[in-house]
């Protein structure tokens, strides 16, 4: 189904972009974990409490963020992480047909005994493997960050609360003490496996979408423009859906609603390993469990790929520009 020679060429072609994205993700994840350790949890809570009114815009409830795992999990919604994943997916996906057509190299390539399906699948193999390795680079960055970071926390002196009042009375006259401990003692890198899975599914969705538009087009710039337009429109729909209760229904029309890595990480932290993979909701009100959303993204990506092959097999191959 895939061609060894094509795979080799696509690997060479994409290696520089992959290396740049992988280094960025690895380094950013490491630094992000370290930075999260610099802000005291108490201070972090105080800062976040100021923004309670905007909690609905956050991917998960603020209370889930008042843990070290929750704070590290925020990495998955950082613009740089989304940006690198999207860059890889859109750059590689848009290249497969309209990119080769624009460069004029598809004519020579398809003059060889290679089916169009094989060409797309070979490209998909390299792009998907590249995406997988990218999200693994992010995970590696998180893991290294956790292993190398120490947390210093301020422990307030013991106190008692006077019943029926909000008054706390210190039991000693000593000031708050600081304790330092390795982050790895409170955060397990394996807790982020579901976040990595979600990010991969998100990337595959974009990769499939870009490949589909590429298979229909002959200009790469137009393909990229098309994918970005869809991306921005979906983001706006998602933002509007979150802004008020009245527009909440809009969220269902955006694929960003299916990208929920922080929710999955929080599920792992609170409900154990099996919790984020549940396909049904915990109660009758919620139909879908957290495991459904990455599956929707994966299914969307695979469907787009299937459509891309269907379109590309039927279209006339235009002469080089």
Partner 1 sequence: MTVHASPIESPSTAADEESSRLGVIGERNRSLETHQREAVPAVMTDRLGKRYGTFDALIDLSLEIQRGEVFGLLGPNGAGKTTLIRTLLGFLQRTSGRAEVMGIDPASDSVGVRRCVSYLPGDARLPRHLRGRAVLKFFADIRPDGDYEAALAVAERLELDLQRHVGFMSTGMRQKLAIATVISSKSPILILDEPTANLDPTVRSQVLALVSEAQRAGRTVIFSSHVLTEIEEVCDRVVLLKRGRLARQQTLADLRARHRIFATRRQPQPAPTIPDRLRDSISRLTTDGPSVIIETVGDLAPTLGWLASLELDQIRAETFGLRAVYDSVHFDEASPS
Q: Among residues 108 and 247, whose Cβ is nearest to partner 1?
A: 108
- Provide the minimum distance between the beta carbon of 216 and partner 1 in the complex, in angstroms, as a whole number: 16
Measured CA to CA, the distance from residue 101 to residue 106 in angstroms comes to 5
Site string for partner 1, 2-21 (x = CB under 8 A): -x-xx--x--xx--------
Q: Among residues 5 and 31, whose Cβ is nearest to partner 1?
A: 5
Which member of 19, 56, 63, 104 binds partner 1 (CB under 8 A)?
104
Q: Is 113 in the site for partner 1 (CB under 8 A)?
A: yes
Query: In the range 56-75, which residues lie near partner 1 by CB under 8 A?
Result: none
Q: Among residues 166 and 319, whose Cβ is nearest to partner 1?
A: 319
Return contacts of 53-61, CB within 8 angstroms, 24+ apart.
56/242, 56/243, 57/239, 57/242, 57/243, 59/260, 59/261, 59/262, 59/263, 60/262, 60/263, 60/266
How many residues contact partner 1, by CB under 8 A?
22
187 neighbors 72 (Cβ within 8 angstroms): yes
Number of C-beta neighbours around residue 15 at 10 A: 12
Measured CA to CA, the distance from residue 97 to residue 160 in angstroms comes to 69
Q: Among residues 45 and 118, whose Cβ is nearest to partner 1?
A: 118
Q: Is 115 in the site for partner 1 (CB under 8 A)?
A: yes
213 neighbors 94 (Cβ within 8 angstroms): yes
- From the list 127, 20, 142, the residue with the least C-alpha distance to 83 is 20
- Provide the minimum distance between the beta carbon of 6 and partner 1 in the complex, in angstroms, as a whole number: 7
User: Would you tell me which residues interact with partner 1 (CB under 8 A)?
Assistant: 3, 5-6, 9, 12-13, 103-105, 107-108, 110-115, 314, 316-317, 319-320
């Amino acid at each position: 189904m895939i061609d060894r020679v094509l795979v080799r060429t696509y690997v060479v072609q994409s290696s520089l972009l992959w290396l740049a994205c992988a280094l960025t993700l690895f380094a950013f994840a490491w630094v992000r974990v370290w930075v999260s350790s610099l802000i005291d949890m108490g201070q972090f809570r105080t800062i976040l409490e100021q923004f309670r009114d905007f909690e609905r815009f956050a991917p998960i409830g603020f209370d889930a963020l008042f843990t070290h795992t929750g704070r590290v999990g925020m990495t998955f919604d950082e613009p740089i992480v989304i940006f690198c994943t999207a860059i890889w997916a859109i750059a590689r996906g848009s290249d497969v047909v309209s990119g080769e057509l624009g460069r004029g190299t598809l004519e020579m390539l398809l003059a060889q005994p290679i089916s169009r399906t094989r060409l797309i699948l070979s490209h998909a193999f390299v792009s998907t493997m590249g995406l997988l390795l990218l999200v693994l680079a992010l995970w590696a960055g998180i893991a290294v960050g956790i292993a190398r970071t120490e947390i210093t926390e301020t422990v307030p002196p013991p106190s008692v609360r006077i019943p029926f009042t909000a008054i706390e009375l210190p039991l000693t006259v000593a000031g708050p003490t600081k304790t330092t401990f390795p982050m790895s003692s409170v955060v397990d890198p394996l807790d982020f496996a579901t976040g990595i899975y979600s990010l991969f599914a998100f990337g595959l969705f974009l990769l499939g979408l870009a490949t589909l538009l590429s298979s229909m087009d002959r200009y790469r710039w137009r393909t990229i423009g098309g994918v970005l337009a869809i991306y921005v429109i979906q983001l706006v729909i998602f933002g509007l859906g979150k802004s008020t209760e009245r527009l909440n229904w809009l969220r269902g029309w955006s694929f960003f609603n299916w990208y929920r890595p922080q929710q999955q990480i929080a599920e792992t932290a609170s409900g154990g390993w099996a919790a984020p993979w549940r396909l049904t909701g915990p109660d009758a009100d919620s139909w879908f469990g957290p495991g459904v959303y990455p599956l929707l993204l994966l299914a969307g990506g695979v469907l787009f790929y299937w459509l891309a092959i269907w379109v590309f097999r039927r279209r006339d191959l235009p002469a080089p520009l």
